[in-house]
Amino acid sequence: MTTSVGENHTMNITNNHQFNSTNYKQTVSENKTVSIIGDLKETTSTTTHKAQNGDILIQSAGVAKILGKIDAKVNKG
């Protein structure tokens, strides 16, 4: 199924929303802002965050931690 929207699109979900997929790809051509009011908990296998241009900032109002079961590494270069 393919759905195209020519103009702006807004979706409001009053209660719960669940999304299940075997494979998932999302492409955003311009800026993207995600606001999460409550807690965000993610469970993944290998995860990679890569900035093609610019920097990546990890900022916390409390303590920012990097934890590894075997080791935690911060490298320059």
Q: What is the mean pLDDT of residues 13-37?
A: 92
| CA gap 45, 50 in Å, rounded | 16
Tens of pLDDT, residue by residue over 39-64, are 999 999 999 989 888 998 889 999 99
pTM of the predicted model over 0.75: no
Opening angle at CA 33, ends 23 and 1, nearest 5: 35
User: CA-CA distances (angstroms) from residue 48 to 43, 62, 68, 74?
Assistant: 13, 24, 15, 15
pLDDT at 63: 92
